[in-house]
Chains A and B, each alone.
Chain A
Amino acid sequence: MATPAQTQPTPKRWSLGRLGRVAWPYLLLFPTVALLFIFTIYPLLQGILMSFFTRGIVVVPQVESTHPVFIGLDNYTHLLGDKNFQVALLKTIGFVVVAVPLQLAVSLALAVLLAPQSRVNAFVRTIVFFPSMISMLIVGVIWAWLFGRNSGLINYVLSLFGIDAVPWLEDELLAQIAVVIVWVWGGAGFNMMVLIAGLTAIPNDLYEAAAIDNTSKWRQFTRITVPLLQPSIVVVVVLGIIEAFKVYELVVSLTTGGPGRATVYLIQNIYETAFRTVNQAGAAAAQSVVLFVILMVLTILQLRFARKRS
């Protein structure tokens, strides 16, 4: 009969080898976590903290007016009466609502058309993808030249047919439409490639079976392609919404926020508040926190919706 002391398992000793085996995964993770903390988590927390203060974008010990002063939620309550912020937020939401579905539709159409392997399709895919490789700043400059009212290429071509110059960028509505068109043009190529990757993963047997059943092409698209492409569509929509909420470089180079302030979206408003007014970094941080919360909620909702559907 064994004594209790004999039956109890011997506690494992923390040998150097075992310690190494346990610590190894954490060591491998450390650089990524450290970078994430330094470049994402810390700035995020710093931004949230900044939103409770009135302060300069840079705090200089020798310049008293830049020193942080705690004001609680004042920056947030101020946003309720800040017309520029509210208009910019509404315009941004409008831009997202119009531009993201439009870009998805265009990208999906291009993906379906250009997915089949052929030399012509490969060439056209390259052409369509090309704008995605250019900075949005450059895209804006190019289109500003094209859209110019008195010296733009498009109006010049129209004038050859006796058509009056169109105020593409000088009319409030047309300027907003122009920003949407150029944004879609600039990003559709990348989304098309994501969707083509998704399309190639759909088994061909499903289409063959549907064809045997005399299912129309449209029905195949809505009943096979779209449901099975959903993971890729979710990626495109989530990325699209985030990018659309952050639209800035394109607008600055295309319309500089004009005519008047017709195309001033949220990021430009945050920039102007932080860098172009005196000691308003806290107010700009509060606007950024609002944007962060909106994006986080939308992303969580979309991912949950996608999970439910799948």
Chain B
Amino acid sequence: MKLMKLGTIALALSTAMLSPVFASELKLMWYVDGDEQEAKLRGLLDQYTAANPDTTFDLQIVPYETTGTKFQQFAASGSFPDVSLSSSMPPIIRPFLVDWAEVNGPEWIDQFVAGWADGAKLDSKVIAAPLDVTAVGIYYNADAFAKAGVEIPADGWTWDEALPKFKEVAEKAGVRFPLVWDVSAHRFLTYEFQYGNHVFSEDEPLTVAMDDASWEKTMDQFIAMANEYMPPGLWSGASSDSPVDMFVNQQAVAYMSGSWQIGNFGDNAKFKWVAGPTPKGTVASSNVGGNYLLAFNTSAHLEESTAFVNWMTSPEIQAVYAKTFGLLPANKNAPAVDYASADAQAAVVAFQKELELSPRYAATDQAWPEMQATWDSIKAGITQAYVGQITTKDAVAGIRAAAEAAIAAGR
């Protein structure tokens, strides 16, 4: 009997000692907006560990801007995390990415939002798992509109119709600026999209599809709009003014940004705000973006990594993830998301509708990896043209040259 007891204790002890050998700690590289988001993410990871006790996480938070450099370092050393969040898949890391068509079958990718899913495809491979989708669009200070007695049209309006109304609201409601706009190439490009302009062809073979004259005209219009309706100097590229802070502090009637602000406004805006309808140009367009999860084939825990990514992108967890972070789920089969507030719910519905109305290039342009090497030229072009250092013709020529160089550099 004693011998049996001893044997049982020895077995229990050896199992306890050996269990860490079988447990897997996945190294995750992620970026978040602040401590609150990090806490929410850790909560989600704990949920996974509770269901899969053998999988734990070493979460490494990095600034979004540094992910490109991190990937270069990983590629140089050949040592990658197990899983990473990313908005693109630069060529240097592609040989190291898990092919999801091989893991889950080629049809697996079809369950995700079309434009964003296209960006994950590389020939017959699927090199990323879509996690969430973002849309570029406008927010209105509904209280200011109500105070000014101006109605926001439910069925949308053009920029020509909307801008004078913004000004009227600003004057009547005592708001400092009619419009603020995120100073980024991505948000500016949305305006070009709204006038039928885009950078790249929608299909292979990849070419630069810019109509230079139309780009210039649209850029001129944008600069005129920035000068008349936005805070002075905002688009100089040197301004320290924060458009989001200006909107949250009720210094702007309208704010052109994106769906990722929904959670922020839910927490911080102390007034009634609404998302959309975004004014249109000659066409209505958003700008499809978002995040992917990347699993690396260098992982020592490949099975656990792919299981975790499959869990994160499954319909049920997509709904939880979208609700937790105030995002749009990338998985089309995700159950209806019950967002934290009616305002957030309405905003999500509005942005989803705008994504559906967008032309195909609003998704494909950003999905091409060549776009990564083109963004800087767009930002430099519009800011330099805005301050008068170059003409819009030179700015457009610079964007074209960067896009052509990106294609020439190959994949």
Given A60-B92, A63-B91, A169-B239, verify A261-B389 contact (CB < 8 Å).
yes
Query: Could you give, for residues 259-275 of chain B, a 1 whenever the CB lies within 8 Å of some chain A CB and a 0 otherwise?
Result: 00000000000000000
Contact A149 B241 (CB under 8 A): yes
With both chains docked as a complex, state the minimum distance between the C-beta of B187 and any C-beta of chain A, in angstroms. 16
Contact B239 A149 (CB under 8 A): yes
Contact B383 A151 (CB under 8 A): no
Q: How far is the CA of A90 from the CA of B240 in the complex (A)?
A: 26
Closest B residue by C-beta to A165:
B232
The yes or no answer to A65 lying at the interface (CB within 8 A) is yes
Q: How far is the CA of A255 from the CA of B240 in the complex (A)?
A: 8
The yes or no answer to A170 lying at the interface (CB within 8 A) is yes
The yes or no answer to A189 lying at the interface (CB within 8 A) is no
Closest A residue by C-beta to B95:
A62
Q: How far is the CA of A152 from the CA of B239 in the complex (A)?
A: 10
Closest A residue by C-beta to B249:
A151
With both chains docked as a complex, state the minimum distance between the C-beta of A12 and any C-beta of chain B, in angstroms. 50
Contact A259 B237 (CB under 8 A): yes
> Which residues of B are found within 8 Å of A263, using beta-carbon distances?
238
What count of chain A residues pass the 8 Å CB interface test? 39
Query: Could you give, for residues 61-100 of chain B, a 1 whenever the CB lies within 8 Å of some chain A CB and a 0 otherwise?
Result: 0000000110011011000000000000001101110000
Query: Could you give, for residues 159-198 of chain A, a 1 whenever the CB lies within 8 Å of some chain B CB and a 0 otherwise?
Result: 0000001010110100100000000000000000000000
> Which residues of A are found within 8 Å of B405, using beta-carbon distances?
277-278
Contact B231 A260 (CB under 8 A): no
Contact B389 A262 (CB under 8 A): yes
The yes or no answer to B411 lying at the interface (CB within 8 A) is yes
Q: Is the interface of B mostly helix, strand, loop or mixed?
A: helix
Contact A60 B95 (CB under 8 A): yes
Chain A contacts with B in 243-290, Cβ cutoff 8 A: 255-263, 272, 275-279
The yes or no answer to B376 lying at the interface (CB within 8 A) is yes
The yes or no answer to B248 lying at the interface (CB within 8 A) is no
With both chains docked as a complex, state the minimum distance between the C-beta of B217 and any C-beta of chain A, in angstroms. 20
Given A259-B387, A276-B373, A278-B373, verify A148-B91 contact (CB < 8 Å).
no
Q: How far is the CA of A255 from the CA of B241 in the complex (A)?
A: 11
With both chains docked as a complex, state the minimum distance between the C-beta of B166 and any C-beta of chain A, in angstroms. 17
> Which residues of B are found within 8 Å of A66, using beta-carbon distances?
91-92
The yes or no answer to A199 lying at the interface (CB within 8 A) is no
The yes or no answer to A150 lying at the interface (CB within 8 A) is yes
Given A149-B232, A149-B241, A169-B236, verify A260-B384 contact (CB < 8 Å).
yes
Query: Could you give, for residues 367-380 of chain B, a 1 whenever the CB lies within 8 Å of some chain A CB and a 0 otherwise?
Result: 00000010010001
The yes or no answer to B233 lying at the interface (CB within 8 A) is yes
> Which residues of A are found within 8 Å of B373, using beta-carbon distances?
276-278
The yes or no answer to B45 lying at the interface (CB within 8 A) is no
> Which residues of A are found within 8 Å of B406, using beta-carbon distances?
278
Query: Could you give, for residues 48-63 of chain B, a 1 whenever the CB lies within 8 Å of some chain A CB and a 0 otherwise?
Result: 0000000000000000
Contact B240 A145 (CB under 8 A): yes
> Which residues of A are found within 8 Å of B239, using beta-carbon distances?
148-150, 169-170, 258
Contact A259 B240 (CB under 8 A): no
Q: How far is the CA of A57 from the CA of B76 in the complex (A)?
A: 9
Closest B residue by C-beta to A149:
B233
Given A63-B91, A63-B92, A272-B376, verify A256-B75 contact (CB < 8 Å).
no
> Which residues of B are found within 8 Å of A170, using beta-carbon distances?
232-233, 236, 238-239, 387
Contact B231 A149 (CB under 8 A): yes
Given contacts A149-B239, A260-B387, 10 further A-B contacts (CB under 8 A): A66-B91, A145-B240, A149-B233, A150-B233, A258-B237, A258-B387, A259-B236, A276-B376, A277-B402, A277-B405
Query: Which residues does A use to contact B, with CB under 8 Å?
Result: 56-60, 62-66, 144-145, 147-152, 165, 167, 169-170, 172, 175, 255-263, 272, 275-279
A-B contact pairs, 28 of them (CB 8 A): A56-B92, A57-B72, A58-B76, A62-B95, A64-B410, A65-B409, A65-B411, A149-B231, A149-B232, A150-B176, A150-B231, A150-B233, A167-B232, A167-B233, A169-B233, A169-B240, A170-B233, A170-B387, A172-B389, A255-B238, A256-B238, A258-B236, A258-B238, A259-B236, A259-B383, A260-B390, A277-B373, A278-B406
CB-based closest 6 A-B pairs: A258-B238, A170-B233, A258-B237, A62-B95, A259-B236, A260-B384
